[in-house]
Structure 1
Amino acid sequence: MTTSYRTAAEIGRTELGPRPLPALGEQRSATNLSSVDTVLDNGLRVIAVHQSAVPMVELRMRIPFAGTDPAHAAVAEVLAETLLTATERRDRVAIDTDLALVGGELSAGVDPERLSISGNALASGFDTLLDVLADALTGAVYLDDEVVRERDRLVERIAVARSQPSVIAREALQRHRYGDHPYTREMPDADDVAAVTAERVRELHAASVLPRGSLLVLVGDIEPNDAVARIASAFGGWRSDRSAVELPDLPEVTGGDLLFVPRAGAVQSQLRLTAEAIPRTDPRYPALQLANLVFGGFFSSRLVENIREDKGYTYHARSYPEFTPSGATLLVEADTASEVTAPALLEMRYELARLGVVPPTESEVDTVRQYAIGSLLISTGSQTGLASQLAALAAYGLGVDWLVDHPARLAEVTADEIAEAALHFYAPARFTGVVVGDEAQVRYLTALGGVRSA
């Protein structure tokens, strides 16, 4: 006996036509979150939020970690790799064992702005998590053999990364936008890393791993005031009269020619367009967020429909805001086959102009509004997501209230405000950027205008 199955198209239709979609339910934001936002005596800002979905705690620490020395990025990377390998009280095995016994973990990373430490543990192991972290902050020893081991691994990873087209494009874009500003040193030179010694790492820790101006976010099955008291006790020995080092302000990104960066033999081109934007604190930000979604911020956006779905120029295209120490920029990205580099750039420029000339329709506005609100609620529905969102916001002076109120701001922004944001922020003349690809494409790109060789 054979069994027949209805296709998805058949299931979705009736004799009278397509089945109507059910109405969306009311989207409810997280309200009445029990939280504390305070600054400890040592200058550390602490945000503690009670969310009892699971008996865990999520931890995010952000320490401003800028440096103007060209070798700073190399030393900082090695520091992040070895911070949690040994302290005066624990070796690597003891650190891992103590965390494992409370279902916990800690990891560290660094970028030009900050040293970041993330972790979690069972709520019952909260004190152990804090003790291990405080031990690393105040007593990390950076053993010579650990530094050499992690330094050599880092050199190998950098060599591999530097061959990746996306990394080449990112570094070219950063130099084009910001010149020699420290913010551009997202990946250190392998030679600088190879020269790092344990003594230099210890010196950087003493000079820059500082509580004043730093941030600790804690989300979980904890009472916020009690959590703050336990944090203050655990970090009582972490003190300094100096403040953590912030990056200097970035120069404003101005529109102009795209820079063509040759990559001989490349079978793909990387297109990166960028323009100055506004931070989340600007009252126009909700309108810009929704305008960006219409343009290229999700799969059903105009840019994706054009150069991916319709013309097949790329598998990957997107646009998004990138928040910087002094503001924000817009980024538009696409990777295309070499032979369609010029046509893809032409269509990207066309969509930039069309967003202002042909404002988002009522249907588009409704779709992106629901998408933005729903995505935010999903991302903050877990302890992990909420902790990460708050850590990102708090770095720019925002907190729980902003996050709770943002769905309402998105719901209230008007179609006219979105159209105005589209017309202003997506004007093609505001954009600059880079194209990385095979040099055979230069003549086609220069024929479009607004592209110059490096």
Structure 2
Amino acid sequence: MSVTSSTHRTAEEIGRTARGPRPVPELGEQRAAADLSHVDTVLANGLRVLAVRKATVPLVEVRLWIPFAGDDELHPATAEVLAETLLTGTAKRDRVAIDTELALIGGEIGVGVDPERLSISGNALASGLPTLLDVFADTLTGASYVDTEVARESERLVERLAVARTQPRTIAREALQKHRYGSHPATREVPHAEDIVKVTPEGVRALHTASVLPRGATMVIVGDIDPDKVIGDLERVLGGWAGDGSAKVLAPLPELAGGDVLFVPRPGAVQSQIRLSAQTVPRTDPRYAALQVTNFVFGGYFSSRLVENIREDKGYTYGAHSGFEFTGSSAVVNVDADTASDVTAAALLETRYEFGRLGLVPPTESEVESARQYAIGSLVTSTASQTGLAGQLTALASTGLGFDWVAAHPERLAAVTVDDVAQAALDFFAPGRFTGVVVGDAELLGPKLTALGGVTVGEPS
């Protein structure tokens, strides 16, 4: 018979012994990635396909990534309406028929769009893959964009966009994009409601014909599948998806230079948004692994220096974070924090201090090892599921990388040294490399930010 003690012990008491604090267990040895069978090939119509067998559960994930850039001023709005109405009907199936067929195979499909890509994501029981692919093919080749459906979804979009444009994070993101890249098409992430009203069904259908193209696109399929058989099935099912030319790739982004932070007044705001950014290197660069570890040390996870400073020690924010943003072959590191207005200037000062400290007081062996283990562990965890692996592979598609890069990356992270991290800190996290925006109330923030220096004042949002 077991006996339960009635004496409650605190976490601190549990973590100590008579000889002192209980030692933290040694980190376990990193296991090698599973050798998953996969195929990476290009179909006759120009579509690149990455098919990976991951039979952990009898499900399958499908991701289609189509470059979808456009220079026309109305392109962002038309693309948004296209994404909302792509699944509302084809010549063979109406909206109800699509939903019914997907429900019968335990599946679903979603569509999203941004200035760089049109993405179509689906999942289903593995046994339902033929039906899922048939629905994909039907929408790619026969989407009808019926006038009433376009009108209905456009009305909903107008309402959603009106709300989105009042959100502080949306305002800060748009301000950052314009500050970094001016009038580049990449900055037009959220269409204007007045442009949505101008979109016509004819315009949506024309955009589909001109831009929903297989050449240059990538499809990722991960699940309980036979990769070689899937390739044959795709050649047959998607044989009718063709078109002149290739999907349109977003024009290269200009190189991001450091400089003053732009203060964007937002009258009456009780919180401020700090958004800083600097040019880095893409995943294809040999220095990327060291840069990734360096980012984790700086602000990429909860035990980072930035979080320890402005969240844990100073209490300026509930959350601060740094991470990478990849667009085509370009890569930047972003630093985000939302703060109360009265501590925004102080938080910006401390963030700049941490940039400088990272280069002048390089990370210790312990800091590097903790960040390295987190980087490896988070990669392994994120690719352990079919959904996660499909997402990772899709993210790599724009630079031509695939499964082999994912499988080999833990070894690259393991090889990163303290000296590598120290050099990456000097090369990529120097304070002068960063620019960005602060969005907040001018009356409360203006004098403090001006006194801090390195800040210019822009137009109110």
TM-score normalised by L of structure 2: 0.97
- Name the structure 1 match of 2:173: 170
From 216, 232, 248, the equivalent of 2:219 is: 216
Residue 24 of structure 1 corresponds to which residue in structure 2?
Answer: 27
1:130 and 2:133 aligned: yes
Hey, what does 1:185 align to over in structure 2? 188
Deviation of 1:179 after TM superposition, in Å, equals: 0.5
Task: Say if 2:47 and 2:216, in contact at 8 Å, map to a contact too.
Answer: yes
Q: Which residue of 1 aligns with 2:456?
A: 452
Residue in 1 that maps onto 2:397: 394
Residue number in structure 1 paired with 2:364: 361
Q: Are the equivalent residues in 2 in contact too, given 1:259–1:451 (CA < 8 A)?
A: yes
Contact 1:29-1:377 at 8 Å conserved across structures: no
Deviates more, 1:21-30 or 1:212-221: 21-30
Q: Secondary structure in 2 aligned to 1:366?
A: helix
Matched, 1:289 2:289: no
Name which of 403, 424, 428 aligns with 2:427.
Answer: 424
Q: Which residue of 2 aligns with 1:254?
A: 257
User: What is the distance in 1 between the residues matched to 2:25 and 2:308?
Assistant: 25
Aligned-partner residue type, residue 192 of structure 1: D
Q: Identify the residue that residue 342 of structure 2 maps to in structure 1.
A: 339
Residue 348 in structure 1 maps to residue 351 in structure 2: yes
Tell whether 2:79 aligns with 1:76.
Answer: yes
Matches within 5 A, 1:364-383: 364-383=367-386
Corresponding residue number in structure 2 for 1:10: 13
Tell me by how many angstroms 1:11 deviates: 1.8
Match of 1:141 in 2: 144
Give CA-to-partner distance per residue, 1:42-97, whole Å, 9 cap, x none. Answer: 00000000000001110010000000001100000010011011000001110011
Equivalent residue for 2:269? 266
Deviation of the 1:23 alpha carbon: 2.1
1:206 equivalent to 2:227? Answer no
SS at match of 1:108: strand
Displacement after TM superposition at 1:255 (Å) = 0.7
Deviations 1:292-337 (A, max 9, x none): 0000000111001100110111112111111112310111111111
CA deviations on 1:133-168 (whole Å, 9 max, x unpaired) are 100000000111111111111111111111111110
User: Which has the larger displacement, 332-341 or 5-14?
Assistant: 5-14
Q: How many residues align?
A: 454
Alpha-carbon offset, residue 8 of structure 1: 1.9
- State the AA in 2 paired with 1:284: R
- Among all aligned residue pairs of Structure 1 and Structure 2, give the percentage whose two residues are the same amino acid: 67
The alpha carbon displacement at 1:196 in A equals 1.2
Q: Is the partner of 2:447 in helix, strand or coil?
A: helix
Correspondences of 1:77-92 after superposition (within 5 Å): 77-92=80-95
| Aligned partner letter, 1:375 | S
Structure-1 separation of matches of 2:31 and 2:131: 35
Q: CA shift at 1:31, angstroms?
A: 3.3
1:320 has 2:301 as partner: no
Deviation at 1:6, TM superposition (A): 2.1
Question: In 2, distance between residues paired with 1:310 and 1:159?
Answer: 38
CA distance in 1 between counterparts of 2:15 and 2:102 reads: 50
Whether the 8 Å contact between 2:107 and 2:123 is mirrored in structure 1 is yes
Distance in 1 between residues matched to 2:215 and 2:395, nearest whole Å = 18
Q: Which amino acid aligns with 1:263?
A: R
For 1:444, give the aligned amino acid.
K
Per-residue Cα deviation, 1:91-122 (whole angstroms, up to 9, x for no partner): 11100110111111101000000000001111
Q: SS where residue 363 of structure 2 aligns?
A: coil
Q: Distance in 1 between matches of 2:5 and 2:104?
A: 55
Contact 2:329 2:398 in 1 (8 A): no
Distance in 2 of aligned mates of 1:324 and 1:275? 14
- Aligned position for 1:434: 437
Q: Distance in 1 between matches of 2:196 and 2:32?
A: 45
What is the rounded CA distance, in whole Å, between the counterparts of 1:250 and 1:197 in structure 2?
30
Structure 1 residue 29 displacement after superposition: 3.6
- Counterpart CA distance in 2 for 1:100 and 1:30 is 34
2:416 aligned to which of 409, 413, 417: 413
Unpaired stretches in structure 2, ≥5 consecutive residues: none
1:403 aligns with 2:388: no
1:443 aligns with 2:424: no
- Secondary structure of 2:272 counterpart: strand
* Structure 2 match to 1:308: 311
Is contact 1:58–1:121 with CA below 8 Å preserved after alignment? yes
From 142, 158, 164, the equivalent of 1:155 is: 158
Q: CA deviation at 1:2?
A: 9.6
The residue aligned with 1:241 is: 244
1:257 is aligned with what amino acid? Answer: D
1:198 Cα deviation from its structure 2 partner: 1.2
Q: Does 1:96 align with 2:99?
A: yes
Partner of residue 69 from structure 2, selected from 63, 66, 69: 66
- Matching residue of 1:121: 124
The 1:210/1:306 distance shift into structure 2, 3 A limit, reads same
After superposition, the CA RMSD in angstroms is 1.1
Letter in 2 for 1:177: R
Q: Which runs of 4+ in 1 moved over 4 A?
A: none
Q: Which residue of 2 aligns with 1:275?
A: 278
Tell me if structure 1 keeps the 8 A contact 2:297–2:367: yes
Name the SS of the counterpart of 1:314 in structure 2. coil
